[in-house]
């Protein structure tokens, strides 16, 4: 019966292709709408995963802290908690303080959320399962990833609160110090793989994962990733115990939920990027590619969470000097070594 259904779908698909190929116009319409469908599927994938991640973080942090975490709402182990959380945030009053810059204040959460969404476009979930395999995938990725800070700055400035402003300024200061080493680390991967396309990078790792060739580059990337994700030890823009909540202190309800979701969406996206760049993406024996991809990504997510619940936070000047005096030289050395490797080995 399943085979019948698949056959039917395949026939339909073929007919659609045939119908579309009669004129360039219909071909374009077909391409665009198919792209949209794929994108919506990815959005759905992201939102579902984000909810799981919120739950996972709560349970994991509870385990680390010798607590139980959510247990009551939904048995076993409070799986309904995420739905309760969502409804709670939806039900909150939407407060826009009088003194804020209204336009910036309203747009900021959308910008943050969208920028994390953009990353998903070039992540290969499996062979061919990618929204758009851009030729300049890595360039696009670097651009999309740093876009989050725009939203943070908008929120911090637009909130017209001193704490948010401090948070946003920290975010901006951090951006310049970690973005450069991160991009340099990514360039080294691109040199090894010989392609800018994310799918190509995954395929280039069929024999050997990049982590083996690029251990130093991976460490640089990992450190920059924490700054990019705004997580402990580099969660300076939020810094609950210093800046109250940093850039999002004035937000409530649904707008806050957007920041919150974006944080987890970003976590998943960048973990997926790390897996794509260094851990062979969807490649792996026996299991289907998508399962491999998810396994690796979640392992990475758990690593990030684990570190978050273990370490204290660095100070802003320490992060900057770490970025410029440690990460950048390390990334340059790595780039140089990679150049030699690619040329002569």
Partner 1 sequence: MTETVEFRPLPADIGEHELLVNMGPSHPSTHGVLRVVLRVDGETVVDALPDLGFLHRCFEKLAESWTWPQVVPLTDRLDYVSAMTNELAYVIAVEKLAGIEVPERAQVIRVIMAELQRIASHLVWFGSFANDLGATTPFLYAIREREHILDLFEAAAGARLTYSYLRIGGVRNDLPPGFVEKCRDFLRLMPKRLKEYENLLLKNVIFVARTKGVGRLTREQAIAYGCSGPVLRASGVDFDLRRDEPYAAYGRFDIDVPVGTEGDVYDRTVCRFEEMRASLKIIAQALDALEPGETMAKVPRVLKPPAGDVYSRIESPRGEVGVYLVSTGGTGPYRVKWRAPSFVHLESLPLMCRGHYVADVVANIGSIDIILGEVDR
Counting contacts by CB under 8 A, is residue 243 touching partner 1? yes
What is the phi/psi pair of residue 129, to 5°?
Answer: -85, 80
Q: Hunting for tokens 């939806």 — which residue is that?
A: 90
Cβ distance to partner 1 smaller for residue 241 or 343: 241
What is the phi/psi pair of residue 229, to 5°?
Answer: -80, -10
Show the site string, 244-263: x = touches partner 1 by CB under 8 A, - = not: x-------------------
What is the phi/psi pair of residue 209, to 5°?
Answer: -70, 150
Q: How far is the CB of 28 from partner 1 (least distance, A)?
A: 51
Cβ distance to partner 1 smaller for residue 58 or 203: 58
Cβ distance to partner 1 smaller for residue 143 or 176: 176
Of 132-140, 212-220, 241-249, 290-298, which part binds partner 1 (CB under 8 A)? 241-249
> Distance between CA atoms of 255 and 92, rounded to whole angstroms?
10
Q: How far is the CB of 168 from partner 1 (least distance, A)?
A: 12
Binding to partner 1, residues 146-175 (CB under 8 A): 162-163, 166, 169-170
Cβ distance to partner 1 smaller for residue 148 or 164: 164
Residues 6 or more apart whose Cβ sits within 8 Å of residue 188 = 214, 217, 331, 334, 335, 338
How many chain residues are in contact with partner 1, going by CB under 8 A? Answer: 29
Cis link prior to 233 (omega < 30° from 0)?
A: yes
Q: List the one residue from 11, 72, 315, 325 that touches partner 1 (CB under 8 A).
A: 315
Q: How far is the CB of 313 from partner 1 (least distance, A)?
A: 3
Token pair for 243? 């800046």
Of 45-53, 80-88, 201-209, 227-235, which part binds partner 1 (CB under 8 A)? 227-235
> Distance between CA atoms of 192 and 189, rounded to whole angstroms?
5
Q: How far is the CB of 232 from partner 1 (least distance, A)?
A: 6
Cβ distance to partner 1 smaller for residue 170 or 296: 170
> Distance between CA atoms of 34 and 230, rounded to whole angstroms?
34
Counting contacts by CB under 8 A, is residue 314 touching partner 1? yes
> Distance between CA atoms of 214 and 192, rounded to whole angstroms?
9
Report the candidate in 259, 270, 189 with the shortest Cα–Cα distance to residue 222.
Answer: 270
72-98 burial string, b = 16+ CB within 10 Å, else e? eeeeeebeebbeebeeebeeeeeeeee
Counting contacts by CB under 8 A, is residue 233 touching partner 1? yes
What is the phi/psi pair of residue 124, to 5°?
Answer: -80, 115
Q: How far is the CB of 306 from partner 1 (least distance, A)?
A: 10
Binding to partner 1, residues 43-72 (CB under 8 A): 61, 64-67
Of 27-35, 89-97, 148-156, 231-239, which part binds partner 1 (CB under 8 A)? 231-239
Token pair for 251? 């937000």
Cβ distance to partner 1 smaller for residue 67 or 72: 67
> Distance between CA atoms of 132 and 92, rounded to whole angstroms?
37
Q: How far is the CB of 314 from partner 1 (least distance, A)?
A: 5
Contact footprint for partner 1 (CB under 8 A) = 61, 64-67, 162-163, 166, 169-170, 232-233, 235, 239-244, 309-318
């Amino acid at each position: 019966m399943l085979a019948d259904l698949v056959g039917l779908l395949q026939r339909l698909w073929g007919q659609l292709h045939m119908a579309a190929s009669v004129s360039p116009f219909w071909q374009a319409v077909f391409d665009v709408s198919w792209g949209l469908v794929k994108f919506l599927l990815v959005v759905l994938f992201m939102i579902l995963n984000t909810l799981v991640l919120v739950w996972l973080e709560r349970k994991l942090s509870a385990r680390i802290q010798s607590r139980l975490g959510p247990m009551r709402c939904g048995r076993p182990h409070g799986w309904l908690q995420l739905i309760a959380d969502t409804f709670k945030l939806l039900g909150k009053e939407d407060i826009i303080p009088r003194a804020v810059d209204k336009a910036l204040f309203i747009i900021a959460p959308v910008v943050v959320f969208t920028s994390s969404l953009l990353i998903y476009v070039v992540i290969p979930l499996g062979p061919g399962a990618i929204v758009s395999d851009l030729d300049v995938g890595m360039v696009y990725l670097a651009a999309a990833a740093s876009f989050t800070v725009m939203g943070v700055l908008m929120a911090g400035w637009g909130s017209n609160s001193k704490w948010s402003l401090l948070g946003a300024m920290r975010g901006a200061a951090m951006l310049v110090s970690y973005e450069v080493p991160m991009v340099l680390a990514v360039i080294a991967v691109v040199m090894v793989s010989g392609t800018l396309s994310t799918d190509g990078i995954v395929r280039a790792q069929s024999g050997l994962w990049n982590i083996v060739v690029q251990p130093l580059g991976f460490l640089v990337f990992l450190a920059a990733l924490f700054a990019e994700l705004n997580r402990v030890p580099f969660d300076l823009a939020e810094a609950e115990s210093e800046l109250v909540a940093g850039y999002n202190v004035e937000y409530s309800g649904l707008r806050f939920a957007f920041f919150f979701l974006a944080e987890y969406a970003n976590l998943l996206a960048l973990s997926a990027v790390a897996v794509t760049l260094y851990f062979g993406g969807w490649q792996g024996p026996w299991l289907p590619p998508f399962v491999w991809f998810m396994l690796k990504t979640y392992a990475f997510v758990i690593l990030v969470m684990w570190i978050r619940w273990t370490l204290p936070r660095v100070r802003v000047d320490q992060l900057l000097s770490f970025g410029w005096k440690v990460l950048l030289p390390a990334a340059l050395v790595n780039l140089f070594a990679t150049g030699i490797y690619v040329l002569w080995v």
